[in-house]
Amino acid sequence: MAADGQASNMDNNLANGSSVAASAQPPRPGVLPRIQTRITTMAASKPYKAENNICHDDSSRPVKAQTIDELHSLQKKRSAPTTPIKQEVTAQSPTAFSTISEEERQRLQLQSISASLASLTRESGPKVVKGDPKRKLETPKAHEQHHQYFTPNISTSDSALKFTHILYNLSPAELYEQAIKYEHGSFITSSGALATLSGAKTGRSPRDKRVVIDENTTDELWWGKGSPNIEMDEHTFLVNRERAVDYLNSLDKVFVNDQFLNWDSENRIKVRIVSARAYHSLFMHNMCIRPTPEELENFGTPDFTIYNAGQFPCNRYTHYMTSSTSIDINLARKEMVILGTQYAGEMKKGLFSVMHYLMPKRGILSLHSGCNMGKDGDVALFFGLSGTGKTTLSTDHNRLLIGDDEHCWSDNGVSNIEGGCYAKCIDLSHEKEPDIFNAIKFGAVLENVVFDEHTREVDYSDKSVTENTRASYPIEYIPNAKIPCVGPHPKNVILLACDAFGVLPPVSKLTMAQTMYHFITGYTALVAGTEDGIKEPQATFSACFGAAFIMLHPTKYAAMLAEKMKKYGATGWLVNTGWCGGRYGVGSRIKLPYTRNIIDAIHSGVLLNAEYTKTEVFGLEIPTLVEGVPSEILNPMNAWENKKLYKETLLKLAGLFKQNFEVFSKYKIGSDNKLTEEILAAGPNI
């Protein structure tokens, strides 16, 4: 009872705010001992304050929320428009976004998106509203701001009875949330990148790519043998467009990206991408140029629109369809439709094909190349197929990276078409490609990679899903990227070839006609191997080093290249990053440090003043001396022990060149055939 009385007194003392020191008493069986504390008297209106640092209460005012939903609403503040809003509409620009209210701007923006999603036969466009349909409704506030939505005048159909929620230009963080919540197979890796799957297709489907043939494209585009352009008619395109739009309108939500192509502000293209997956939206957020808030508010009507309904197949009974996949481009309507493939690279390369059509019409040369710039402003273009070292050699810590894949060359200089990079990941390591490895962080997309289920560390050597694993990331993730991605006119044009036959020199200076010939040819060699041994190297040719994406005849791009090189004083070079001293399996691959020394000598201008000799058959001019490169490998014949076998291999490769060029030899360039004859004469002489 004494103990109980003492405890009661202590409780009373604590309630009265008295300073108490409880005397230690032996605990009763089964009862925990009382903790001894010491607190100070305090005013009821003030927070607790510790005396002698014994006890501290860090309490603060309660939050301004009555429910948990309202508390969550306080966590995110509303983004305010960055462009000042003028309440009055001027007579000079009555529809300009920057001169109207925020509410009217939102309405016009949604009206534009609704028009993009309109069926061509049944209705003018779906009801669209911004926001995630899965998000819980927040507790209403006194000044509730209602969703902005647009309801067109429509005829009755199922899609007309619902709202389509538009997730518009979401940030990477928001797209991560969407992917993790709703897209099976999406994970955050240990480096912070978003790992995702592209479905059954892990690469492009060039045989399923179609271009609408009409009265204009019949004569403008390259059709027939060797061309990547497979025709389809207008009606079939509209059938597929309707199928894609109907699928997108049947969803609760779609992602819409409004972005730009081409860093040259005078010649940039506004593109709108409508897709069903957060993965696709984030991919294009990275690959296209990201608009500033001011630019987005004044975006208006896009110049080109992509409808990516890749999760839904095309109708195989539709005319021209050869599978459940179809990638269709209609240049007249300025639209692209994707059905039956979720591989994101189709969007990137589809837009590149469009740029290969639009830019030459403006007198601008579109190029499948890497591009970097030295400290003195000297720009170099790097052309090369897969495995030639284009990415490795164009990424130089001593030079600024303008871009790694797609460029334009106009009278203003060179400009990157894209806002990001799309790098191969197979066997990627920090030691081999530190810049790419470090760029795979938050905001980057990793396609079809394999990772540890617990640590989420990616195994870049694992090919379980596909060998074509890829990473997409903004170009500013590369430390030495030049922002904005523009530069002066190129000084050097470097054509890269990985010659597995071992007969091309490590470097040769090209005449203008030779530059055009080898640019049109686009040569490299693939090494084919089997379990039983190594087979012969296989020559492969891709016109303009990107035949799968060009729209016009290759000679038109070559003529534009020659014209710009001549006008701005650029020099052409052919650099072999392949084998010397014998073909693959006999000789050895040219060491990367040797190739880098060659590239450095080109950049510095040393090779322009070097002494040259000419090779037989191909007639290439080769330097007799390059600092840091063994002189015996500069002339490939000297590196071969068996001279007879060298000559046989050389003639074999020359024959393959001539056979490949036959498809171009009958094409007339200019008013006469003089330029065509010069290009043919620049090829190998057997």
**Catalytic (active site) residue 459:** no
Return d(Cα 458, Cα 307) in angstroms, integer: 31
CB atoms closer than 10 angstroms to residue 257? 25
Beta bridge partners of residue 486, listed in sequence order: 415
DSSP string, 548-595: TT--S-HHHHHHHHHHHHHHHT-EEEEEE-SEESSSTTTSEEPPHHHH
Beta bridge partners of residue 447, listed in sequence order: 196, 470
Cα separations (Å) of 18 from 21, 41, 43, 45, 58? Answer: 10, 6, 12, 17, 21
**Residue 16, Cβ density class (10 Å: 0-12 exposed, 13-18 middle, ≥19 buried):** exposed
Active-site pick, 105, 127, 204, 241: 204
Active-site pick, 159, 196, 326, 391: 391
The secondary structure element, H or E, covering residue 422 is: strand 420-424
**Catalytic (active site) residue 45:** no
**Catalytic (active site) residue 375:** no
Residues 6+ apart with CB under 8 A from 461: 426, 427
Return d(Cα 547, Cα 553) in angstroms, integer: 10
Beta bridge partners of residue 231, listed in sequence order: 211
- Amino acid symbol at 597: N
Where are any strands of DSSP class E within 333-393? 335-339, 365-368, 370-373, 379-383
Cα separations (Å) of 520 from 379, 514, 657? Answer: 22, 10, 11
Return d(Cα 178, Cα 662) in angstroms, integer: 52
Task: Please give the structure tokens belonging to residue 79.
Answer: 């983004």
Beta strand 230-232 with 209-212 is parallel
- Amino acid symbol at 128: V
Contact yes or no for 56/48 (Cβ under 8 A): yes
**Catalytic (active site) residue 376:** no
Contact yes or no for 368/355 (Cβ under 8 A): no
- What are the backbone angles phi and psi of residue 282, rounded to the nearest 5°? -70, -40
Cis peptide upstream of residue 484 (ω within 30 degrees of 0):
yes
Cα separations (Å) of 172 from 178, 191, 391, 473? Answer: 10, 15, 26, 11
**Catalytic (active site) residue 368:** yes
Which region holds residue 295: left if phi is over 0, alpha if psi is between -120 and 50, else beta? alpha
Active-site pick, 280, 290, 368, 509: 368
Active-site pick, 264, 396, 405, 499: 405
- DSSP secondary-structure letter at 626? B
Residue spans of alpha helices (H) in 1-101: 2-15, 68-75
Active-site pick, 241, 285, 349, 509: 349
Active-site pick, 386, 461, 613, 624: 386
CA dihedral 302, 306, 309, 314 (to 10 degrees): 130
Active-site pick, 105, 209, 356, 390: 390
Beta bridge partners of residue 308, listed in sequence order: 275, 338
Rg for the chain, CA atoms, rounded? 32
DSSP string, 245-303: HHHHHHSSEEEEEEEEE-S-GGG-EEEEEEES-HHHHHHHHHHSBPPPHHHHHT--S-S
CB crowding 649-671: b at 16 or more within 10 Å, else e = bbeebbebbeebbebbeeeebee
**Catalytic (active site) residue 333:** no
**Catalytic (active site) residue 285:** no
Task: Please give the structure tokens belonging to residue 348.
Answer: 């990137």
Please tell me the total number of residues recorded for the chain in this structure. Answer: 686
Chain centre to alpha carbon of residue 213: 28
**Catalytic (active site) residue 181:** no
Cα separations (Å) of 15 from 8, 18, 55, 59, 89? Answer: 11, 8, 16, 19, 67
Active-site pick, 127, 470, 489, 603: 470
CB atoms closer than 10 angstroms to residue 297? 20
**Active site residues per annotation:** 204, 349, 368, 386, 390-391, 405, 470
